[in-house]
Amino acid sequence: MKSAFLDAFSGLSGDMIAGAMLDAGAGFEELRAALASLPLDGYRVGTRRRVLSGIAALKFDVEVSAPQPERHLGDIREIVRRGAALSDAVKERAMAIFGALAEAEAKIHHTTPEAVHFHEVGAVDSIVDIVAAAWGFERLGLEEMVVSPLPAGTGFVRSQHGVIPVPAPATTELLTGFPIRMGDGASEMVTPTGAAIVRALAKPAPPAMGFRVERVGYGAGTKDFADRPNVLRLMIGERAQSYDTDELVEIAANIDDLSPQLYDHVFERLLAAGARDVTLTPTIMKKGRPAVTISVLADPAAREHIAAVLFAETSTIGLRFHPVARLKLAREMIEVDTRWGRVRVKVSRAGDDILTVSPEYDDCKEIAREHRVALRLVLEQAQAAARRQFSRDG
């Protein structure tokens, strides 16, 4: 799988992403021809080299020569749709970027995506940057894009709505779920256009990611920073691992004075509050007291809900927590037919190889009880049916 890694130590913007893609091998003249098919005028595009801290980076410039109207999402959809030199995939990616931005702006302004007035991002330069990024994704043959933690920046910027804090509200909304470094950077480090591109086309890079680099491109920003070169590094290659990853938080407590019969209820409440997994581990506390450690894995956003359940339902008066990273197999849920009825089966893969086939226990138990058949037979038949189905598909 061909991947792109955005090494955004100086943040990113639409023109930096486009510049890095061009520097990595996307052809400028081909891009210019693709952009010329859009029903837009009053602008011209160009490139130039900027050398920052000894790094020669490509600056993608959009020079606007005429006033631009305010545009709604429907206006921009029509502009992109009429791009005769753009493939359907490029149009879909471009519209996904604008759609992500419209949803973010609608949430901030308490309106609908269709009613959002695009100001800065509706201008011709932002439209060009977004279409260029969508085009570059296809031109470079990318199948995925991952991005490093992003510097949030500090201070304030002026917009059509007045002075707003950095990161801008739309940027903050778009980067929900992406790791950011608070207070890093002396100004706006991630623009709304850059954030929208990342939201639609990229996902956070996993920790300790294996990556085989094939080529590198540098896109230059406009500003000059005293503490770092204002460039975006784009690495193109292949990720070395075939496993999915995610980042969770583990919340744990040692408990030595809770009736064991209560743990079933505690588990139910924790799972309802968003826990991914709950385990009990025997342990020995100080003064030789036997106890159990209750450990909960959950998304970071669910931490407070998990803590509330543990404080309410157990005798603990303190919790410890820390972030954890997981390697996991890609999985999907399918349904298969057995002689007694349909059963859901979880199938886990590493690449194209099927490693585990796990029938849903509750489905099998219900069938076994209803038909008065041994549970192990239902489990075995569901597993065999799933393997036969994938054998046929393969």
CA dihedral 32, 36, 40, 42 (to 10 degrees): 60
My answer on whether 263 and 202 are in the same domain is no
Please state, in angstroms and rounded to a whole number, the distance separating the CA atoms of residues 121 and 200: 15
Which residues face 4 on adjacent strands? Answer: 145, 236
For residue 28, give every residue at least 6 positions away whose Cβ sits within 8 Å of its Cβ, in sequence order, or none: 22, 47
Please state, in angstroms and rounded to a whole number, the distance separating the CA atoms of residues 3 and 144: 5
Please state, in angstroms and rounded to a whole number, the distance separating the CA atoms of residues 151 and 171: 12
Last residue of a domain, one of 294, 327, 360: 327
CA atoms within 13 A on the CB side of 249: 15
The pLDDT confidence band at residue 189, using thresholds 50, 70 and 90, is very high
Name the residue among 188, 175, 79 with its Cα closest to residue 130.
79
257-to-285, 314, 318 alpha-carbon distances in Å: 12, 9, 14
My answer on whether 315 and 353 are in the same domain is no
pLDDT of residue 341: 94
My answer on whether 9 and 71 are in the same domain is yes
Which residues face 11 on adjacent strands? Answer: 9
Q: Domain holding 373: CATH number?
A: 3.10.20.300
Least confident piece of the model among 28-37, 96-105, 234-243, 312-321:
234-243
Positive or negative, the Cα torsion across 312, 318, 324, 326? Answer: negative
pLDDT, mean of residues 339-351: 89
Please state, in angstroms and rounded to a whole number, the distance separating the CA atoms of residues 101 and 116: 10
Please state, in angstroms and rounded to a whole number, the distance separating the CA atoms of residues 117 and 122: 8
pLDDT of residue 61: 97
Considering the chain, what percentage of its residues have pLDDT values greater than 70? 97
My answer on whether 63 and 164 are in the same domain is yes
My answer on whether 125 and 224 are in the same domain is yes
My answer on whether 19 and 95 are in the same domain is yes
Residues in the chain: 394
Last residue of a domain, one of 287, 303, 327: 327
Please state, in angstroms and rounded to a whole number, the distance separating the CA atoms of residues 142 and 91: 15
Q: What is the DSSP track for 118-136?
A: BSTTTSHHHHHHHHHHHHH
Least confident piece of the model among 41-55, 72-86, 87-101, 379-393:
379-393
CA dihedral 266, 272, 275, 281 (to 10 degrees): 20
Model-level pTM? 0.73
Please state, in angstroms and rounded to a whole number, the distance separating the CA atoms of residues 263 and 308: 15
Q: And the tokens for 120? A: 């800065």
My answer on whether 32 and 119 are in the same domain is yes
Q: Domain holding 279: CATH number?
A: 3.30.70.1380
Contact 197, 17 (CB under 8 A): yes
- pLDDT, tens only, 59-100: 999 998 888 888 899 999 999 999 999 999 999 999 999 999
Last residue of a domain, one of 303, 327, 351: 327
Please state, in angstroms and rounded to a whole number, the distance separating the CA atoms of residues 180 and 173: 12
* N-term to C-term CA, the chain: 19
Instruction: Say yes or no to pLDDT of 373 above 90.
Output: yes
Instruction: Say yes or no to pLDDT of 133 above 90.
Output: yes
Instruction: Say yes or no to pLDDT of 143 above 60.
Output: yes
The pLDDT confidence band at residue 242, using thresholds 50, 70 and 90, is low
- pLDDT, tens only, 151-166: 999 999 888 778 999 9
Residue 167: asked if its preceding bond is cis (omega within 30°), the reply is yes
Please state, in angstroms and rounded to a whole number, the distance separating the CA atoms of residues 387 and 255: 42
My answer on whether 346 and 302 are in the same domain is no
Please state, in angstroms and rounded to a whole number, the distance separating the CA atoms of residues 308 and 179: 25
Q: Quick count: other Cβ atoms within 10 Å of Cβ 128?
A: 23
Only one residue has tokens 């799988």, namely 1
pLDDT, mean of residues 367-372: 96
My answer on whether 114 and 95 are in the same domain is yes
My answer on whether 323 and 367 are in the same domain is no
> Which range marks the domain in which residue 311 is found?
245-327
My answer on whether 250 and 288 are in the same domain is yes
Q: And the tokens for 76? A: 């921009």
Number of domains in the chain: 3
Phi-psi label, residue 238: left if phi above 0, alpha if psi -120 to 50, beta otherwise: beta
* Average model confidence (pLDDT) across the chain: 93
My answer on whether 151 and 282 are in the same domain is no
CA dihedral 316, 320, 323, 326 (to 10 degrees): -50
